[in-house]
Structure 1
């Protein structure tokens, strides 16, 4: 069986695949119910398994989650067919290969458009969702922040893997597809003195997350620091915190998150909500309370291992920390007292133990928590 070699860029990686010649489908796809259902059987007769096994092996080696695996499939198919994302053959082939990978997928269609929908239990925002039975399906063809989200589509009466596994958008570790790091100097005020840190961060994370579906807000708190930031920022801060009490250490870290970055609301900068992981603060020129909280949360976990809770007001995110002898405005959660350590303001201040000004009488919810050292 003859094969063709196809190469394409996937973030910082060059991917090479061997594609069986008989895998390629050259006819035009008809947007009709019976034709689309029959096409699945046609694809099953083609030598897809070699290509799929290769893609799965690459996904494992690169530590891709489900979302990135789907992107790898789609970009590989774009390279095979020399067509952009959204073309019917690319979307149908993505649907087929995800089904053969064991996911519960559904296909929606209208006019000349096909959309791939995956069963997921994740909390998602600003992405088209459909319900079929008691399962929720997310549209992974059009992604997030799509135009005409209310435009209706036909649901193909076909379920290749009706008991297939759920598709996850969450990342526990960063994938091995981002190699490049960049230097940056950051300056901040601590007790009237200017402090300087020279760090390296991974700009590829910002590109990876630029079109990523918005997931549960607490995930951005739990997202790990990149290896570059962990190796450059954390050791410098650890040295600067040496000999400090827990309170002094928390004061130093809030001074950093409050004054090292320029504040602007997401709506003003991006025109929409844009939660960031810690590395993104060093990529973008502006950040807001959610972003400072993500960085502060990650630094306290890495450096102090103190218990924390994430406090969400209607229009503000803050952090409270539990530490021996720490006093100030506090919240009691599951029997533990947590003192406010707002990572956003007041700017150029290192004072902790105060409810954010203007929020003293506002209601809030606890988005998540970190328990500190395991016992």
Structure 2
């Protein structure tokens, strides 16, 4: 009986092993078929243009480069916020509600659609790879495969003719699979334009470091970085200063504290400054009329889940509703990415979604606390949570400089100020209660207003014939419909989300 059982087990093992081998063979055949289909696809307009443009572009950038004026990065506007939070005095006399005057109405623009590209269904099978390079990017493991033995180039100098020759060399087919791999990672990780550009740079610099024959390989990495981004549809240029090359990236929105060159009517930001003083020389030709400026907006959740590292849990509790207490932690890798992110206008932070891990800790409790309540009462509960669960400090006190926070960062850093709270409150009301929210930007202050259709009390703004009730997350203990007294008659700029 034991012998029979043993035979059955052995037979099952070999059957499973054979099945696994067949499955793997089937998978490889399927992947090869998918890749063959991808290679035979109908190319997009940009891809057709790109094939013939690379050789033309190599000739254009071989021409004499011109000295271009560089500009110091713009300083962010400083808001003289109150050093201490404004706490509502319960004994202060009631001020009659008012209609807040509107200065102007603006809407945060959506990022442009990316240049159409046919992105392959996945990486090539590893057993067909001839070379590979990898790196970690804020905890995520990135591997770039190639079907070529060697994709490296060597610059003999950094004059125009040599840069043009090297660009032409990169266009001999060696980079096709590499570019495809980068695009696959962009889609898989849901990277926005700027984060994708930085990720490409990190891999390129890692590939050439420490370089061939002990050299730094930095200039070759910059050239590869620019080449990959150009093939992906981004508007980039290369600049030379002294003995170094620099990547210039056209960025749509205003970026603070980052030096730039103005070419035509566009700002090209110097992604990484290096070396001493000197003039920047570059070309004015565009790779393609279809090339797009990079957008700083983060409209999808960036996926860094390979090696998620959670911060220490903190408790965030409402003073008025003690049952509303939430334990939350955040991904430290995401915090590092946000910390390295250049400063933008604070409106753009309001469009960045909260990480799914934090939402899963936060939203169920908020929904439970507001379930069955009227929209007005539910809004008041969320308002008090944001007012009292977070400690207040100005950016200058906490960081020593102006620094808006992404919504996840409020649960990481110890303090937040008015714009951070307004952004978080607007996000929570939209996600939990599905209500329309606008931001109210006064001189030196940021609040919100919520569209509550059946509520007609308190301070409000009128927008498109609709009443939006003022809700101020920094006016501690204030109810919905209560604007700070000093802002009741101050014109506010309305920002639609």
Q: TM-score, normalised by structure 1?
A: 0.86
Q: Which residue, 154, 161, 186 being the options, matches 1:26?
A: 154
- The alignment covers a number of residue pairs equal to 362
Instruction: Please say if 1:68 is aligned against 2:195.
Output: yes
Normalized per residue, the structure richer in helix is: 2
Contact 1:197 1:236 (8 Å CA) reproduced: yes
Q: Which residue, 290, 294, 298 being the options, matches 1:167?
A: 294
State the distance in 2 between where 1:350 and 1:197 align: 22
User: Cα deviation per residue 1:47-86 (whole Å; 9 max; x = unaligned)?
Assistant: 1212222222222222222222212211111221125999
1:237 positional shift: 0.8
Match of 2:479 in 1: 351
Mean alpha-carbon deviation: is it higher for 12-21 or for 286-295?
12-21
Instruction: Please say if 1:263 is aligned against 2:392.
Output: yes
Mean alpha-carbon deviation: is it higher for 4-13 or for 254-263?
4-13
Contact 1:8 1:79 (8 Å CA) reproduced: yes
Q: 1:46 to 1:191 in 2, by over 3 A?
A: closer
Any idea what SS the aligned residue of 2:247 has? strand
Match of 1:364 in 2: 492
Instruction: Please say if 1:299 is aligned against 2:428.
Output: yes
Contact 1:306 1:322 (8 Å CA) reproduced: yes
**What are the residue-to-residue correspondences of 1:257-336 with 2, within 5 Å?**
257-323=386-452, 324-336=454-466
Match of 1:373 in 2: none
User: Cα deviation per residue 1:201-239 (whole Å; 9 max; x = unaligned)?
Assistant: 333332121121333432211211211121111010111
1:287 positional shift: 1.1
State the distance in 1 between where 2:198 and 2:233 align: 16
State the distance in 2 between where 1:255 and 1:72 align: 39
Contact 1:108 1:155 (8 Å CA) reproduced: yes
Any idea what SS the aligned residue of 2:313 has? strand
Match of 1:342 in 2: 472
Match of 1:115 in 2: 246
| Structure 1 segments unaligned to the other structure (5+ residues) | 371-375
Q: 1:247 to 1:2 in 2, by over 3 A?
A: closer
Normalized per residue, the structure richer in strand is: 1
Match of 1:153 in 2: 280
Q: 1:152 to 1:360 in 2, by over 3 A?
A: farther
State the distance in 2 between where 1:100 and 1:66 align: 14
State the distance in 1 between where 2:385 and 2:283 align: 53
Higher RCO (CA-CA < 8 Å; seq separation 6+):
2
Any idea what SS the aligned residue of 2:475 has? coil
Instruction: Please say if 1:57 is aligned against 2:184.
Output: yes
**CA RMSD, aligned part only?**
2.9
User: Cα deviation per residue 1:266-322 (whole Å; 9 max; x = unaligned)?
Assistant: 122222221112111011111111111111011100111222110112221111112
1:122 positional shift: 3.0
Runs of 4+ in 1 over 4 A off after TM superposition: 83-86, 192-195
Q: 1:363 to 1:87 in 2, by over 3 A?
A: farther
Structure with max Cα Rg = 2
Any idea what SS the aligned residue of 2:484 has? coil
Q: 1:79 to 1:241 in 2, by over 3 A?
A: same
State the distance in 2 between where 1:36 and 1:271 align: 42
Any idea what SS the aligned residue of 2:150 has? helix
Contact 2:237 2:283 (8 Å CA) reproduced: yes
Contact 1:187 1:260 (8 Å CA) reproduced: yes
